[in-house]
Amino acid sequence: MPSNSMALTPGLSSFLKSLKTNPIDTSIDNLISLLKRRQIRHSRSCAIATAYLLLRVVSAFRTTEAAKLIERVQNVGRRLVAAQPREMVVGNIVRRVLGLIRDEAEDERDAEFSLSSDAGTDSRPHTPPRGPSPSRLAPQSHISSSLKPGDTDTKDQDTASVLSERSSSRPPVNSFAPTPAPISMFSLLSHPETESPQTGSPVPASPSGRVPGHGPSKDIRAEIIDGIGEIIDELGQVDDQIAGYALEHIHSNEIILTHTSSSTVQKFLLKAAAKRKFTVIHAESYPNNHEATHATVSGTAYSDEETMSFESFQKPLIALGITVILIPDSAVFALMSRVNKVILGTHSVLANGGLVAAAGTRVIARAAKVHQTPVVVVSGVYKLSPVYPFDYEALIEYGDASKVIGYEDGDLVDKIDVENPLYDYVPAELVDLYITNLGGHAPSYLYRIVSDHYRKEDINF
Protein backbone atom coordinates (compact mmCIF):
# COMPACT_ATOMS: atom_id res chain seq x y z
CA MET A 1 0.00 0.00 0.00
CA PRO A 2 2.71 2.57 0.73
CA SER A 3 4.30 1.89 -2.63
CA ASN A 4 1.01 2.66 -4.40
CA SER A 5 0.62 5.94 -2.55
CA MET A 6 4.14 6.96 -3.46
CA ALA A 7 3.52 6.09 -7.11
CA LEU A 8 0.42 8.28 -7.15
CA THR A 9 2.16 11.28 -5.58
CA PRO A 10 1.51 14.29 -7.87
CA GLY A 11 4.71 15.49 -9.47
CA LEU A 12 6.88 15.23 -12.55
CA SER A 13 7.54 11.50 -12.32
CA SER A 14 3.88 10.59 -11.97
CA PHE A 15 2.97 12.92 -14.83
CA LEU A 16 5.50 11.36 -17.19
CA LYS A 17 4.21 7.89 -16.32
CA SER A 18 0.58 8.87 -16.89
CA LEU A 19 1.45 10.59 -20.16
CA LYS A 20 2.03 7.23 -21.81
CA THR A 21 -1.44 5.88 -21.08
CA ASN A 22 -3.82 8.83 -20.62
CA PRO A 23 -5.56 10.55 -23.54
CA ILE A 24 -3.93 13.71 -24.76
CA ASP A 25 -6.66 16.05 -23.48
CA THR A 26 -6.49 14.41 -20.06
CA SER A 27 -2.72 14.87 -19.98
CA ILE A 28 -3.08 18.56 -20.85
CA ASP A 29 -5.57 19.10 -18.04
CA ASN A 30 -3.31 17.14 -15.68
CA LEU A 31 -0.28 19.33 -16.38
CA ILE A 32 -2.37 22.48 -16.05
CA SER A 33 -3.52 21.29 -12.64
CA LEU A 34 0.04 20.49 -11.56
CA LEU A 35 1.24 23.93 -12.62
CA LYS A 36 -1.60 25.75 -10.88
CA ARG A 37 -1.04 23.88 -7.63
CA ARG A 38 2.76 24.32 -7.92
CA GLN A 39 3.27 20.58 -7.61
CA ILE A 40 5.86 21.01 -10.38
CA ARG A 41 7.97 23.98 -9.41
CA HIS A 42 11.57 23.77 -10.62
CA SER A 43 12.36 25.34 -13.98
CA ARG A 44 13.84 22.23 -15.52
CA SER A 45 10.98 20.06 -14.27
CA CYS A 46 8.43 22.40 -15.87
CA ALA A 47 10.45 22.48 -19.10
CA ILE A 48 10.69 18.68 -19.26
CA ALA A 49 6.98 18.25 -18.60
CA THR A 50 6.11 20.79 -21.30
CA ALA A 51 8.44 19.22 -23.85
CA TYR A 52 7.08 15.72 -23.31
CA LEU A 53 3.50 16.96 -23.49
CA LEU A 54 4.11 18.80 -26.77
CA LEU A 55 5.85 15.71 -28.11
CA ARG A 56 2.67 13.78 -27.41
CA VAL A 57 0.53 16.54 -28.95
CA VAL A 58 2.53 16.57 -32.20
CA SER A 59 2.65 12.78 -32.49
CA ALA A 60 -1.11 12.49 -31.91
CA PHE A 61 -1.95 15.17 -34.48
CA ARG A 62 -3.34 13.57 -37.64
CA THR A 63 -3.09 16.46 -40.11
CA THR A 64 0.01 17.18 -42.17
CA GLU A 65 -0.79 20.88 -42.62
CA ALA A 66 1.70 23.05 -40.74
CA ALA A 67 -0.78 25.88 -40.16
CA LYS A 68 -3.21 23.63 -38.29
CA LEU A 69 -0.38 22.08 -36.28
CA ILE A 70 0.86 25.55 -35.29
CA GLU A 71 -2.64 26.50 -34.23
CA ARG A 72 -2.93 23.34 -32.13
CA VAL A 73 0.39 23.93 -30.35
CA GLN A 74 -0.49 27.58 -29.78
CA ASN A 75 -3.78 26.66 -28.12
CA VAL A 76 -2.07 24.18 -25.81
CA GLY A 77 0.73 26.65 -25.06
CA ARG A 78 -1.69 29.44 -24.15
CA ARG A 79 -3.46 27.18 -21.67
CA LEU A 80 -0.19 26.14 -20.04
CA VAL A 81 1.13 29.70 -19.77
CA ALA A 82 -2.19 30.92 -18.36
CA ALA A 83 -2.03 28.19 -15.73
CA GLN A 84 1.28 29.52 -14.35
CA PRO A 85 2.43 32.80 -15.97
CA ARG A 86 5.51 33.08 -13.74
CA GLU A 87 7.02 29.90 -15.16
CA MET A 88 8.81 31.46 -18.11
CA VAL A 89 10.32 28.16 -19.26
CA VAL A 90 6.89 26.81 -20.22
CA GLY A 91 6.45 29.56 -22.78
CA ASN A 92 10.07 29.17 -23.89
CA ILE A 93 9.60 25.49 -24.76
CA VAL A 94 6.35 26.26 -26.60
CA ARG A 95 8.10 28.95 -28.65
CA ARG A 96 10.92 26.61 -29.59
CA VAL A 97 8.47 23.94 -30.74
CA LEU A 98 6.58 26.52 -32.79
CA GLY A 99 9.89 27.57 -34.33
CA LEU A 100 10.61 23.96 -35.26
CA ILE A 101 7.26 23.68 -37.03
CA ARG A 102 7.78 26.92 -38.95
CA ASP A 103 11.29 25.92 -39.97
CA GLU A 104 10.12 22.55 -41.29
CA ALA A 105 7.24 24.21 -43.14
CA GLU A 106 9.66 26.66 -44.76
CA ASP A 107 12.01 23.86 -45.75
CA GLU A 108 9.12 21.99 -47.35
CA ARG A 109 8.02 25.15 -49.17
CA ASP A 110 11.53 25.72 -50.49
CA ALA A 111 11.70 22.10 -51.69
CA GLU A 112 8.38 22.47 -53.50
CA PHE A 113 9.56 25.70 -55.08
CA SER A 114 12.73 24.03 -56.35
CA LEU A 115 10.63 21.19 -57.77
CA SER A 116 8.37 23.66 -59.53
CA SER A 117 11.39 25.45 -60.98
CA ASP A 118 12.84 22.19 -62.25
CA ALA A 119 9.51 21.10 -63.71
CA GLY A 120 9.00 24.44 -65.45
CA THR A 121 12.37 24.25 -67.22
CA ASP A 122 12.49 21.99 -70.31
CA SER A 123 15.39 19.63 -69.79
CA ARG A 124 15.46 18.52 -73.44
CA PRO A 125 17.91 20.38 -75.72
CA HIS A 126 16.18 22.87 -77.99
CA THR A 127 17.28 22.45 -81.62
CA PRO A 128 16.23 25.19 -84.03
CA PRO A 129 14.53 24.12 -87.28
CA ARG A 130 16.65 23.80 -90.36
CA GLY A 131 14.64 26.28 -92.38
CA PRO A 132 16.00 29.40 -93.98
CA SER A 133 16.44 32.35 -91.74
CA PRO A 134 14.28 35.41 -92.31
CA SER A 135 17.37 37.41 -93.16
CA ARG A 136 17.98 35.17 -96.17
CA LEU A 137 14.39 34.96 -97.34
CA ALA A 138 13.95 38.70 -97.59
CA PRO A 139 16.69 39.37 -100.18
CA GLN A 140 15.23 36.69 -102.45
CA SER A 141 12.10 38.61 -103.27
CA HIS A 142 14.05 41.82 -103.49
CA ILE A 143 16.54 40.47 -106.01
CA SER A 144 13.98 38.62 -108.09
CA SER A 145 11.83 41.72 -108.31
CA SER A 146 14.76 43.99 -109.08
CA LEU A 147 15.80 41.96 -112.12
CA LYS A 148 14.07 43.24 -115.26
CA PRO A 149 13.83 41.49 -118.58
CA GLY A 150 16.55 42.68 -120.86
CA ASP A 151 19.10 43.39 -118.15
CA THR A 152 22.54 42.37 -119.34
CA ASP A 153 24.23 42.24 -115.93
CA THR A 154 25.39 38.60 -115.88
CA LYS A 155 26.63 38.84 -112.30
CA ASP A 156 23.22 39.76 -110.97
CA GLN A 157 21.59 37.08 -113.06
CA ASP A 158 23.90 34.38 -111.70
CA THR A 159 23.23 35.49 -108.13
CA ALA A 160 19.49 35.45 -108.64
CA SER A 161 19.59 32.01 -110.23
CA VAL A 162 21.62 30.57 -107.34
CA LEU A 163 19.24 31.98 -104.71
CA SER A 164 16.21 30.71 -106.58
CA GLU A 165 17.67 27.23 -106.82
CA ARG A 166 18.41 27.16 -103.07
CA SER A 167 14.98 28.37 -102.14
CA SER A 168 13.28 25.88 -104.42
CA SER A 169 15.29 22.96 -102.96
CA ARG A 170 14.13 23.70 -99.32
CA PRO A 171 10.63 23.31 -97.98
CA PRO A 172 8.78 26.41 -96.84
CA VAL A 173 9.04 27.61 -93.25
CA ASN A 174 5.45 26.76 -92.41
CA SER A 175 6.06 23.13 -93.30
CA PHE A 176 8.16 22.64 -90.14
CA ALA A 177 5.32 23.55 -87.76
CA PRO A 178 3.85 20.52 -85.95
CA THR A 179 0.54 19.39 -87.33
CA PRO A 180 -2.08 19.00 -84.57
CA ALA A 181 -3.69 15.59 -84.30
CA PRO A 182 -7.42 15.46 -85.07
CA ILE A 183 -9.59 15.57 -81.97
CA SER A 184 -13.04 14.10 -81.80
CA MET A 185 -15.91 16.41 -80.93
CA PHE A 186 -17.03 14.00 -78.20
CA SER A 187 -13.65 14.08 -76.45
CA LEU A 188 -13.00 17.77 -76.89
CA LEU A 189 -14.26 18.75 -73.45
CA SER A 190 -13.12 15.64 -71.58
CA HIS A 191 -9.54 15.78 -72.89
CA PRO A 192 -8.57 19.41 -73.33
CA GLU A 193 -5.49 20.18 -75.30
CA THR A 194 -2.54 21.20 -73.12
CA GLU A 195 0.32 23.21 -74.46
CA SER A 196 3.86 22.35 -73.52
CA PRO A 197 5.47 24.98 -71.36
CA GLN A 198 7.93 27.37 -72.89
CA THR A 199 11.58 27.15 -72.05
CA GLY A 200 12.21 28.69 -68.63
CA SER A 201 8.53 29.29 -67.83
CA PRO A 202 7.61 28.00 -64.33
CA VAL A 203 4.79 25.59 -63.80
CA PRO A 204 1.88 27.33 -62.06
CA ALA A 205 1.45 26.20 -58.46
CA SER A 206 -1.73 25.67 -56.55
CA PRO A 207 -2.90 28.23 -53.96
CA SER A 208 -1.50 26.01 -51.20
CA GLY A 209 1.97 26.29 -52.68
CA ARG A 210 2.10 22.72 -54.03
CA VAL A 211 3.14 21.82 -57.54
CA PRO A 212 0.38 20.12 -59.56
CA GLY A 213 1.17 16.52 -60.29
CA HIS A 214 3.64 16.09 -57.42
CA GLY A 215 1.18 14.64 -54.89
CA PRO A 216 0.46 15.83 -51.35
CA SER A 217 3.13 17.37 -49.14
CA LYS A 218 5.20 15.12 -46.92
CA ASP A 219 4.45 14.56 -43.26
CA ILE A 220 6.67 16.97 -41.33
CA ARG A 221 5.77 15.51 -37.94
CA ALA A 222 8.74 13.13 -38.00
CA GLU A 223 11.22 16.01 -38.25
CA ILE A 224 9.38 17.97 -35.56
CA ILE A 225 9.37 14.98 -33.22
CA ASP A 226 13.12 14.61 -33.76
CA GLY A 227 13.56 18.30 -32.95
CA ILE A 228 11.57 18.00 -29.73
CA GLY A 229 13.67 14.97 -28.83
CA GLU A 230 16.79 17.12 -29.23
CA ILE A 231 15.27 19.72 -26.88
CA ILE A 232 14.64 17.00 -24.30
CA ASP A 233 18.22 15.76 -24.66
CA GLU A 234 19.45 19.31 -24.21
CA LEU A 235 17.48 19.62 -20.96
CA GLY A 236 19.18 16.51 -19.65
CA GLN A 237 22.70 17.57 -20.66
CA VAL A 238 22.60 21.30 -19.97
CA ASP A 239 24.21 21.11 -16.51
CA ASP A 240 27.10 19.00 -17.77
CA GLN A 241 27.63 21.38 -20.69
CA ILE A 242 27.72 24.40 -18.38
CA ALA A 243 30.08 22.60 -16.02
CA GLY A 244 32.51 22.22 -18.89
CA TYR A 245 33.36 25.94 -18.55
CA ALA A 246 34.10 25.72 -14.82
CA LEU A 247 37.90 25.53 -15.11
CA GLU A 248 37.92 28.73 -17.16
CA HIS A 249 36.24 30.77 -14.41
CA ILE A 250 37.26 29.15 -11.12
CA HIS A 251 40.89 29.32 -10.06
CA SER A 252 42.85 27.89 -7.17
CA ASN A 253 42.71 29.47 -3.70
CA GLU A 254 39.62 31.51 -4.55
CA ILE A 255 36.79 32.19 -2.13
CA ILE A 256 33.44 31.72 -3.87
CA LEU A 257 30.04 32.62 -2.48
CA THR A 258 26.92 30.85 -3.68
CA HIS A 259 23.26 30.58 -2.76
CA THR A 260 20.49 27.91 -2.68
CA SER A 261 20.80 24.26 -3.66
CA SER A 262 20.88 24.82 -7.42
CA SER A 263 21.95 21.67 -9.26
CA THR A 264 23.56 23.75 -12.01
CA VAL A 265 25.75 25.62 -9.52
CA GLN A 266 26.68 22.46 -7.63
CA LYS A 267 27.77 20.60 -10.75
CA PHE A 268 29.68 23.68 -11.87
CA LEU A 269 31.60 23.73 -8.57
CA LEU A 270 32.11 19.97 -8.57
CA LYS A 271 33.67 20.10 -12.03
CA ALA A 272 36.18 22.72 -10.89
CA ALA A 273 36.85 20.88 -7.61
CA ALA A 274 38.25 17.92 -9.54
CA LYS A 275 41.37 19.96 -10.41
CA ARG A 276 41.27 23.11 -8.27
CA LYS A 277 41.25 23.76 -4.53
CA PHE A 278 39.12 26.67 -3.34
CA THR A 279 36.74 27.68 -0.58
CA VAL A 280 32.95 27.93 -0.89
CA ILE A 281 30.79 30.13 1.34
CA HIS A 282 27.22 28.86 1.06
CA ALA A 283 24.26 31.01 2.14
CA GLU A 284 21.50 28.81 3.50
CA SER A 285 18.57 30.54 1.75
CA TYR A 286 16.15 30.59 4.65
CA PRO A 287 13.19 29.92 4.90
CA ASN A 288 12.22 28.31 1.59
CA ASN A 289 15.35 26.41 0.53
CA HIS A 290 17.41 26.01 3.68
CA GLU A 291 16.60 22.31 4.18
CA ALA A 292 17.68 21.41 0.64
CA THR A 293 20.78 23.61 1.03
CA HIS A 294 21.84 21.82 4.23
CA ALA A 295 21.30 18.47 2.51
CA THR A 296 23.38 19.55 -0.48
CA VAL A 297 26.29 20.74 1.65
CA SER A 298 26.32 17.65 3.88
CA GLY A 299 25.57 15.17 1.09
CA THR A 300 22.52 13.71 2.82
CA ALA A 301 19.28 12.78 1.08
CA TYR A 302 16.46 15.27 0.93
CA SER A 303 12.86 14.02 0.84
CA ASP A 304 11.69 15.83 -2.27
CA GLU A 305 10.65 13.88 -5.37
CA GLU A 306 11.87 16.41 -7.92
CA THR A 307 15.06 17.16 -5.99
CA MET A 308 15.90 13.49 -5.69
CA SER A 309 15.25 12.96 -9.40
CA PHE A 310 17.22 15.83 -10.84
CA GLU A 311 19.45 17.27 -8.10
CA SER A 312 21.13 14.22 -6.63
CA PHE A 313 24.94 14.19 -6.72
CA GLN A 314 27.45 11.41 -6.37
CA LYS A 315 29.63 13.34 -3.94
CA PRO A 316 29.29 16.65 -2.08
CA LEU A 317 31.99 19.30 -2.28
CA ILE A 318 33.44 18.34 1.07
CA ALA A 319 34.13 14.81 -0.21
CA LEU A 320 36.50 16.30 -2.80
CA GLY A 321 38.47 18.26 -0.21
CA ILE A 322 36.71 21.59 -0.73
CA THR A 323 36.15 23.74 2.34
CA VAL A 324 32.46 24.67 2.56
CA ILE A 325 31.26 27.29 5.07
CA LEU A 326 27.51 27.46 5.64
CA ILE A 327 26.37 30.92 6.74
CA PRO A 328 23.01 32.59 7.42
CA ASP A 329 21.74 35.04 4.85
CA SER A 330 22.25 37.99 7.20
CA ALA A 331 26.04 37.47 7.19
CA VAL A 332 26.46 37.89 3.43
CA PHE A 333 27.38 41.58 3.48
CA ALA A 334 29.90 41.11 6.30
CA LEU A 335 31.82 38.41 4.41
CA MET A 336 31.54 39.89 0.91
CA SER A 337 34.80 41.83 1.28
CA ARG A 338 36.71 38.53 1.38
CA VAL A 339 34.88 36.91 -1.52
CA ASN A 340 36.61 36.73 -4.90
CA LYS A 341 33.59 35.70 -6.98
CA VAL A 342 29.85 35.15 -6.61
CA ILE A 343 28.27 32.28 -8.55
CA LEU A 344 24.48 32.18 -8.58
CA GLY A 345 21.73 30.12 -10.15
CA THR A 346 18.54 31.49 -11.64
CA HIS A 347 14.91 30.64 -12.15
CA SER A 348 14.58 32.49 -15.47
CA VAL A 349 16.41 35.13 -17.50
CA LEU A 350 14.44 37.95 -19.13
CA ALA A 351 14.93 39.86 -22.37
CA ASN A 352 16.60 42.88 -20.76
CA GLY A 353 19.33 40.76 -19.13
CA GLY A 354 17.70 40.73 -15.71
CA LEU A 355 16.86 37.53 -13.92
CA VAL A 356 14.31 36.04 -11.56
CA ALA A 357 16.05 33.98 -8.87
CA ALA A 358 15.43 32.65 -5.38
CA ALA A 359 14.64 35.15 -2.66
CA GLY A 360 17.82 36.67 -1.26
CA THR A 361 19.67 36.77 -4.59
CA ARG A 362 19.16 40.51 -5.03
CA VAL A 363 20.69 41.25 -1.62
CA ILE A 364 23.75 39.18 -2.52
CA ALA A 365 24.08 40.89 -5.92
CA ARG A 366 23.83 44.37 -4.37
CA ALA A 367 26.43 43.53 -1.71
CA ALA A 368 28.75 42.28 -4.46
CA LYS A 369 28.20 45.51 -6.40
CA VAL A 370 29.22 47.58 -3.38
CA HIS A 371 32.42 45.56 -2.89
CA GLN A 372 33.08 45.33 -6.66
CA THR A 373 32.93 41.55 -6.60
CA PRO A 374 32.09 39.94 -9.96
CA VAL A 375 28.71 38.18 -10.13
CA VAL A 376 28.47 35.15 -12.41
CA VAL A 377 25.10 33.56 -13.19
CA VAL A 378 24.93 30.02 -14.58
CA SER A 379 21.83 29.21 -16.58
CA GLY A 380 20.71 26.97 -19.41
CA VAL A 381 19.61 28.50 -22.69
CA TYR A 382 16.10 27.15 -22.14
CA LYS A 383 15.70 29.69 -19.29
CA LEU A 384 16.34 32.67 -21.59
CA SER A 385 12.95 34.25 -22.20
CA PRO A 386 12.12 36.86 -24.88
CA VAL A 387 9.57 38.46 -22.52
CA TYR A 388 10.45 41.95 -21.30
CA PRO A 389 9.69 42.63 -17.60
CA PHE A 390 7.42 45.67 -17.82
CA ASP A 391 5.98 44.92 -14.38
CA TYR A 392 8.62 43.63 -11.99
CA GLU A 393 6.16 43.04 -9.17
CA ALA A 394 4.11 40.64 -11.31
CA LEU A 395 7.13 38.33 -11.55
CA ILE A 396 7.42 37.84 -7.80
CA GLU A 397 5.67 34.80 -6.38
CA TYR A 398 4.81 34.55 -2.71
CA GLY A 399 4.78 31.36 -0.67
CA ASP A 400 3.54 30.14 2.67
CA ALA A 401 3.79 32.90 5.28
CA SER A 402 3.87 30.34 8.10
CA LYS A 403 7.50 29.59 7.20
CA VAL A 404 8.39 33.09 8.39
CA ILE A 405 6.08 33.26 11.42
CA GLY A 406 4.18 30.18 12.57
CA TYR A 407 0.42 30.21 12.79
CA GLU A 408 0.69 29.35 16.49
CA ASP A 409 1.74 32.95 17.08
CA GLY A 410 -1.80 34.11 16.46
CA ASP A 411 -1.58 37.41 18.33
CA LEU A 412 1.48 38.53 16.40
CA VAL A 413 0.13 37.48 13.03
CA ASP A 414 -3.04 39.51 13.54
CA LYS A 415 -1.06 42.70 14.11
CA ILE A 416 1.34 42.57 11.15
CA ASP A 417 1.28 41.58 7.49
CA VAL A 418 3.66 38.71 6.80
CA GLU A 419 4.94 38.05 3.28
CA ASN A 420 7.20 35.28 2.09
CA PRO A 421 8.53 36.03 -1.41
CA LEU A 422 9.86 32.99 -3.21
CA TYR A 423 11.77 34.93 -5.87
CA ASP A 424 13.64 38.17 -6.39
CA TYR A 425 14.10 40.25 -9.49
CA VAL A 426 17.75 41.12 -10.10
CA PRO A 427 18.39 43.88 -12.68
CA ALA A 428 20.95 43.39 -15.42
CA GLU A 429 23.38 46.00 -14.04
CA LEU A 430 24.04 43.78 -11.02
CA VAL A 431 25.22 40.85 -13.18
CA ASP A 432 28.67 40.76 -14.77
CA LEU A 433 28.59 37.48 -16.71
CA TYR A 434 26.15 34.80 -17.81
CA ILE A 435 27.45 31.28 -18.41
CA THR A 436 25.13 29.13 -20.51
CA ASN A 437 25.63 25.84 -22.32
CA LEU A 438 26.78 27.99 -25.26
CA GLY A 439 29.56 29.72 -23.30
CA GLY A 440 30.02 32.95 -21.36
CA HIS A 441 28.08 36.05 -22.37
CA ALA A 442 27.61 39.59 -21.17
CA PRO A 443 24.03 40.58 -20.23
CA SER A 444 23.84 42.85 -23.28
CA TYR A 445 24.65 39.90 -25.58
CA LEU A 446 21.72 37.76 -24.50
CA TYR A 447 19.33 39.29 -27.05
CA ARG A 448 21.36 37.68 -29.84
CA ILE A 449 20.96 34.25 -28.28
CA VAL A 450 17.25 34.90 -27.81
CA SER A 451 16.85 35.96 -31.46
CA ASP A 452 18.58 32.76 -32.59
CA HIS A 453 16.31 30.49 -30.53
CA TYR A 454 12.92 32.20 -30.90
CA ARG A 455 11.16 33.59 -33.95
CA LYS A 456 9.55 37.02 -33.77
CA GLU A 457 6.10 35.75 -34.70
CA ASP A 458 6.16 33.33 -31.76
CA ILE A 459 7.12 35.77 -28.98
CA ASN A 460 3.49 36.65 -28.26
CA PHE A 461 1.85 33.42 -29.34
Residue-wise pLDDT tens digits, 147-173 = 444 444 444 444 444 334 444 444 444
Round the average pLDDT of the chain to a whole number and report it: 79
Q: What percent of the chain has pLDDT over 70?
A: 72
Q: What is the mean pLDDT of residues 246-270?
A: 95
Structural domains in the chain, CATH included, are 8-120+216-234 (1.20.120), 244-458 (3.40.50.10470)
Mean pLDDT value across residues 255-267? 94
pLDDT digits (tens, 9 = 90+) for 13-41: 999 999 999 999 999 999 999 999 999 98
- As a whole number of angstroms, the distance between CA 411 and CA 240 comes to 50
Phi, psi (deg, nearest 5) at residue 149: -65, 135
- What pLDDT does residue 112 have? 73
Contact 39, 84 (CB under 8 A): no
Cα Rg, the chain, nearest whole Å:
37
- d(CA 168, CA 162) in angstroms, rounded, equals 10
Q: Residue 129: is its pLDDT beyond 70? A: no
Q: Which long-range contacts (CB under 8 A, 24 or more apart) does 57-65 make?
A: 57/24, 57/28, 58/97, 58/221, 58/224, 58/225, 58/228, 59/221, 59/225, 60/24, 61/221, 64/216, 64/217, 64/218, 64/219, 64/220, 64/221
Q: What is the DSSP letter of 384?
A: B
In this model, does residue 424 exceed pLDDT 70? Answer: yes
Higher pLDDT, 125 or 286: 286
For the chain, percent of residues with pLDDT exceeding 90: 54
Q: Output the pLDDT for position 94.
A: 97
Q: Report CA 345 to chain centroid distance, whole Å.
A: 22
Q: Per-residue confidence at 8, pLDDT binned at 50, 70, 90?
A: low
Mean pLDDT within 85-93: 95
380 in Cβ contact with 436 (< 8 Å):
yes
Report how far residue 108's alpha carbon sits from residue 223's, in angstroms, rounded to the nearest whole number. Answer: 11
Residues 6 or more apart in contact with residue 312 via CB below 8 angstroms: 301
Other C-beta atoms closer than 10 Å to the C-beta of 277 total 13
**257: amino acid identity, one letter:** L
Least confident span in 99-108, 284-293, 408-417: 408-417
Per-residue three-class SS string for 299-318: CCCCCCHHHHHHCCCCCCHH
Q: Give the lowest-confidence range in 92-101, 151-160, 416-425.
A: 151-160
At residue 447 the predicted structure's pLDDT band, cuts being 50, 70 and 90, is confident
- Counting Cα atoms < 13 Å in the Cβ hemisphere of 81 gives 18
pLDDT band at 140 (very low <50, low <70, confident <90, very high): very low
pLDDT at 63: 81
For residue 311, pLDDT over 50 is answered with no
* Global confidence as pTM: 0.75
pLDDT band at 45 (very low <50, low <70, confident <90, very high): very high
